[in-house]
Chain A
């Protein structure tokens, strides 16, 4: 094990199309020198998909940009080589590099809104690579672009050609990006987080599309992502990056099944998944990634690694291993050290069905008027929340999931009386808290608290943490100054932070720490109800589990009634006792978490679950028929009847005419569907198998 790995062992296989050796990049910004990647080795063969995973800042994008020869100004490749088809790219002259770009190597970027030129028509942008490389005349190029748009699944491509990027939805834009990257039929496609900004449903479609096209065109692909699930399903081989280094790489199955690097292992363990035992605490990696400007002599992961030894801190491990599965770790994971199950969590006892509802929501409606002038009565409104009712018992956690824009946040804000509902009401322990005056609300104000998504924005940058934590007490006039400080220290302790942090300012904390402060503050007033809106979606994987665990502990210990909002089904599953699935302002399914996840009754829920990539290469490919297709209709005028019908494979005329209401399909499980996937309790006709109908690509 101590023997340094021979160079050749890195799996330099035959007919490698792309070979990267010992690649290091430096970025100079003022006095700081950042080394975003150090000594990276990679290989890629024709037709292969290489997934690169890693947390934010680990150097994934830099690797991709190095291959493209498009590093940001101020950065330079300091060592190493990149060979593409036998040609050395490091130091290649700009002309020949340009001839390669867009024609033989293409790239798809993450943010499709800024990656498309806002002032040029989509068609022209897609056709541009052909023209730039002189591969076609203008007319031909445009025709080809239209074909390409059709190929990536854009309906009515000839009309879309003349659209501007902003006229397309996020998913459509991403497809345009792909069409643009592929129009010249490149040999290598680098897709840098092509789906991160998208909903799971659309992510699944896009990734499948990419896989299909790759096959069709016989390309190789580098798929950059931070989502272990995505690589598990879509990559042939996987490289794991940490702090600018490639720490482990190997065939997907081998990497997931025989994970060797401690970091990879920790990462996999800390991801909440749809299968894992909810009674067991998530593994979490302490601390946060190092500053890329600092050079560390040993293993960069050592400070956060439970198995780190002295050697790890002083000596840099090299990639070694065999069979194309190599890793850089002094104390690799063996079967013996593999995942010890996490600590079990005490099940909250308070949350049994007998307890009375603490928070009640009755027919809640929220409609935002569309900005702009219109005659009264004809004002168009965004139907963000439409007649939603549910209840949360003391000590119970309700999760809300759904695609972006389905009204989760709008609902959440009404629950804590931040926004007034358009209709309906929210009741806390039988007292109305929605739509009442500030004065009337005052005694119950403190009982309703919220934890925000971006705690960076939720903490006043001009206040110290101490002031921030004391503020709720000060507002409510609780205790003396000294008592408040005491309380603040206790809160910090509760969220796992030391009192030394009191004098700091928010910008001096890491994202994870800030999110804990956000939680601490929400708890400061001992609330009865805590709404957490996307509490971890801004956090990186390794930090996410720290916060999730903390939240769960606090929920249980304090007997809070909480509502957890997230578009991430796994997060909701991990935190909640019950879960509600929202679609276009409505709750379409609600029930005990295990019930809903194991036996989804609504086709939408099933589709969502099917779309979530599982971090297991052996997981069966999801049923294509269950997929939710197309895009979310506009909340300005939602479809009649069942709002999901436009995307539902089971929809009939009935769905358009009659709006389904929530009906029980189990003991603690309700669904609003005419053709539920589970038999309705006490309703014979509902249990009959609905006639499956072929799904159409095109949503009306």
Chain B
């Protein structure tokens, strides 16, 4: 276990370094003269040059990269000149809201998808299964922003149940304190994820249902409920853990769109606004964080899977 853990962490670190290189290179391809970007069009060439010199942007790329990494290690994600603020501070202010929204959406999606997927597997090829699969196909084909717009049209405009705009309160806990205002964003997130998770869960459960140990459990005289809860559930959820880990970039992208449609002030909206402002330090820092989150998510997922399913460490 320990050696597996170390190996996974080592690989994750390697990937992280790779990500930082890619993003660093990206930063330099996009805006080769930070001074110009920062000082704006009116600044004289000399001022730009001076700025670049002062901030070390004229040094060899490798040196700058090392610097960049050292900064990152100190938790310094750079500075948003456009917002006159450290990127880390901006993130600290926004991350809570996004994280709570994402996690709530994820938990909600899983809470629906896991039982639904298992139900579909157990009742495969029945009306229930076919209907759920059909809806999943349809929803999967619907871009999440369209889901959001349809929800607004239906649940906010046609039947005014929920507001069309997410809560604007700065508290990260609005999902719980103001659930009405967060209903539509949450439903959108949940719906778009449920279709992926439930179909995955269905096939995972189907595969497990075909395994002999399920038959063995029945042969022991276990009632169906116990077969499903005690034997199937855990094994059928293991692939889903990996999926959630792998899907983190998709989840982040989903958040981006939901935050944009519902005007929810979180990291996604910060990203979009920065995109319009061409605020590269923020953009790339968020991309970096997204990458790091993905790596971390994958690592965590692998570790959870490994501890849930001890076979992993042997097979690798």
Q: Are A and B close enough to touch in the complex, i.e. CB under 8 Å? A: yes
Which residues of A approach B to under 8 Å, CB–CB?
68, 70, 98-103, 106-107, 109, 111, 114-120, 128-129, 132-133, 164, 166-167, 177, 180-181, 371-373
| Chain B interface (Cβ < 8 Å from any Cβ of A) | 3, 7, 10, 211-213, 215-223, 226, 230-231, 234-235, 238, 308-311, 314, 316
Asked if residues B222 and A117 are in contact (CB atoms below 8 Å), the reply is: no
> Apart from A99-B221, A115-B215, A372-B316, what 6 extra A-B contacts exist at CB < 8 Å?
A98-B222, A98-B223, A115-B211, A117-B235, A118-B309, A119-B234
Q: A166-B310, A180-B216, A372-B7 are in contact. Are A101 and B221 (CB under 8 A)?
A: yes
Chain B residues lying within 8 Å of A371, measured Cβ to Cβ, are 316
By the criterion CB–CB under 8 Å, are B212 and A111 in contact?
Answer: yes
Q: In the complex, are the beta carbons of B221 and A114 less than 8 A apart?
A: no
Contact of B213 among A68, A116, A372 (CB under 8 A): A116
Q: Do B3 and A372 touch (CB < 8 A)? A: yes
Provide the bound-state CA to CA distance between A114 and B223, in Å: 20
3 A-B pairs closest in CB distance: A102-B220, A102-B221, A101-B221
- A133 and B221 contacting across the interface, CB-CB below 8 Å: yes
Does A129 contact B212, Cβ atoms closer than 8 Å? no
Neighbouring B residues of A128 by C-beta, 8 Å:
217, 220, 222
Inside 8 A of B309's CB, which chain A residues have their CB?
Answer: 118-119
Are A100 and B219 interface neighbours, CB within 8 A?
no
Q: Is A132's CB under 8 angstroms from B221's CB?
A: yes
A413 to B18, CA, bound (A): 39
Contact yes or no, A132 B222, CB < 8 A: yes
Given contacts A117-B231, A119-B238, contact A129 B314 (CB under 8 A): no
**Option from A101, A111, A114, A116 in Cβ contact (under 8 Å) with B219:** A101
- Cα separation A180 to B217 with both chains bound (whole Å): 10
Question: Which single residue of chain A is at the shortest CB-CB distance from B211?
Answer: A114
Q: Verify B7–A117 contact, CB threshold 8 A.
A: no
From A99, A109, A132, A133, contact of B215 by CB (8 A): A109
B220 touches A119 (CB 8 A): no
Q: Tell me which of A111, A114, A132, A167 contacts B220 (CB under 8 A).
A: A132
Closest to B124 in A: A73
Q: Of all chain B residues, which has the CB nearest A112?
A: B212
Chain A residues near B230 (CB, 8 Å)?
A: 120
**Across-interface contacts of B218 in A (CB, < 8 A):** 68, 70, 101
Instruction: For the complex formed, measure the closest distance between the CB of B88 and the CB atoms of chain A, giving whole angstroms.
Output: 34
- Name the A residues within 8 Å of B308 (CB-CB): 119
CA–CA, A177 to B217, complex, Å?
A: 11
Residues of A contacting B316 in the complex (Cβ-Cβ under 8 angstroms): 371-372
Which residues of chain A are near B310, meaning CB under 8 Å? 118-119, 164, 166-167
In the assembled complex, the CB of B92 is this many whole angstroms from the nearest CB of chain A, namely 36
Determine the chain A residues whose CB is within 8 A of the CB of B221 once the complex forms: 98-103, 129, 132-133
Q: In the complex the two chains form, is B212's CB within 8 Å of A109's CB?
A: yes
Per the bound structure, the CA–CA distance linking A100 and B231 in Å amounts to: 20
Inter-subunit contact A106/B219 (CB<8 Å): yes
Closest Cβ of chain B to A82, distance in Å, is: 15
| Chain B, residue nearest A115 (CB) | B212
CB-contact partner of B235 in A68, A118, A180, A372, under 8 A = A118
Closest Cβ of chain A: how far from B202's Cβ, in Å? 15
Shortest distance from the beta carbon of A144 to any chain B beta carbon, whole Å = 14
Please, which residue of chain B has its CB at the minimum distance from the CB of A117?
B213
Closest CB of chain A to B211's CB: distance in Å? Answer: 5
Name the prevailing secondary structure of the B interface residues. Answer: helix
CA A128 – CA B217 in complex, angstroms?
9
Chain A residues within an 8 Å CB radius of B222: 98, 102, 128, 132
* Min CB–CB distance B166 → chain A (angstroms): 39
Q: Are A115 and B314 in contact (CB under 8 A)?
A: no
Residues of chain A contacted by B220 (CB below 8 angstroms): 101-102, 106, 128-129, 132, 180
Task: Report A-chain residues with C-beta under 8 Å of the C-beta of B235.
Answer: 117-119
Nearest residue in B to A177 (C-beta to C-beta)? Answer: B216
Min distance, Cβ A635 to any Cβ of chain B, angstroms: 15
B83 to chain A minimum Cβ distance, whole angstroms, is: 43
When distances are taken between beta carbons in the complex, the residues of chain B under 8 Å from A133 are 221
Complex contacts, A100 vs chain B, CB 8 Å: 221
Beta-carbon nearest neighbor of A190 in chain B: B219
User: Which of chain B's residues have a CB closer than 8 A to the CB of A111?
Assistant: 212
In the bound assembly, the distance between CA atoms of A70 and B220 in angstroms comes to 11
> Nearest CB to that of B222 among chain A residues?
A132
The complex places the Cα of A128 from the Cα of B316 at a distance, in Å, of: 31
24 interchain pairs (CB within 8 A)? Answer: A68-B218, A70-B215, A98-B222, A101-B218, A101-B219, A101-B221, A102-B220, A114-B213, A115-B212, A115-B213, A116-B213, A116-B216, A117-B217, A118-B213, A118-B311, A119-B234, A119-B238, A132-B222, A166-B310, A180-B220, A371-B316, A372-B7, A373-B7, A373-B10
Provide the bound-state CA to CA distance between A103 and B219, in Å.
Answer: 9
Contacts of A70 in B (CB 8 A): 215, 218-219
How near does chain A come to B235, taking the closest CB pair, in angstroms? 6
CB distance from A114 to the nearest CB of B (A): 4
CB distance from A665 to the nearest CB of B (A): 40
Question: Which residue of A111, A119, A180, A373 has the most chain B CB atoms within 10 A of its CB atom?
Answer: A119
Task: Specify the chain A residue showing the minimal Cβ separation from B219.
Answer: A107
Q: How far is the CA of A70 from the CA of B224 in the complex (A)?
A: 12
B5 to chain A, nearest CB (A): 12
With both chains docked as a complex, state the minimum distance between the C-beta of B84 and any C-beta of chain A, in angstroms: 46
Residues of A within 8 A of B10 (CB): 373
Q: How far is the CB of B80 from chain A (nearest CB, A)?
A: 40
Q: With both chains docked as a complex, state the minimum distance between the C-beta of A416 and any C-beta of chain B, in angstroms.
A: 28
A98–B222 Cα distance when bound, in Å, is 7
Residues of chain B within 8 A of A107, CB atoms compared: 216, 219
Contact of A102 among B3, B7, B219 (CB under 8 A): B219
Residues of A within 8 A of B311 (CB): 118, 164, 166
Bound complex: CA A623 to CA B200 (Å): 54
For A106, the chain B residues whose CB sits under 8 A away are 219-220
In the complex, how many angstroms separate the beta carbon of A95 from the nearest chain B beta carbon?
9
CB distance from B290 to the nearest CB of A (A): 28
Q: Which of B212, B219, B222 has the most CB of A within 10 A?
A: B219
The CA-CA distance from A128 to B7 in the complex, in Å, is 36
A132 — which chain B residues lie within 8 A by C-beta?
A: 220-223, 226
The chain B residue with its CB closest to the CB of A372 is: B7
Chain B proximity of A129: nearest CB distance (Å): 4
Inter-chain contact B314/A166, CB cutoff 8 Å = yes
**Listed residue (B213, B221, B231) with the most chain A CB atoms within 10 angstroms of its CB:** B221
Cβ distance A67 to chain B, nearest Cβ, rounded Å:
11
Least CB distance, B245 to chain A, in whole angstroms = 18
Asked if A68 and B226 make an inter-chain contact with CB atoms under 8 angstroms apart, the answer reads no
Chain B's nearest CB lies how many Å from the CB of A697? Answer: 26
Q: Are B212 and A114 in touch, CB under 8 angstroms?
A: yes
Bound-state Cα–Cα, A129 to B234, Å = 19
Complex-state Cα separation, A295 to B235, whole angstroms: 40
> Complex formed: what's the CA distance from A98 to B308 in Å?
29
A166-B311, A372-B3 known; A109+B216 contact, CB < 8 A: yes
Closest residue of A by beta carbon distance from B233:
A119
Contact residues in A for B212 (Cβ distance below 8 Å): 109, 111, 114-115
Contacts of B226 in A (CB 8 A): 132
Compute how far the CA of A371 lies from the CA of B235 in the bound complex, rounded to whole angstroms.
26
Determine the residue in chain B with the shortest Cβ distance to A68.
B219
Min CB distance B111 to A, Å, is 21
- Name A129's closest neighbour in chain B (CB-CB): B220
* Known pairs A164-B310, A166-B311, A373-B10; A115 contacts B223 (CB<8 A): no
- Which residue of chain A is the closest to B212 with respect to CB atoms? A115
Q: Which has the most chain B C-beta neighbours within 10 Å: A70, A99, A118?
A: A118
Chain A residues contacting B238 (CB-CB under 8 Å) are 119
The residue that A115 contacts in the complex, of B3, B216, B234, with Cβ under 8 A, is B216
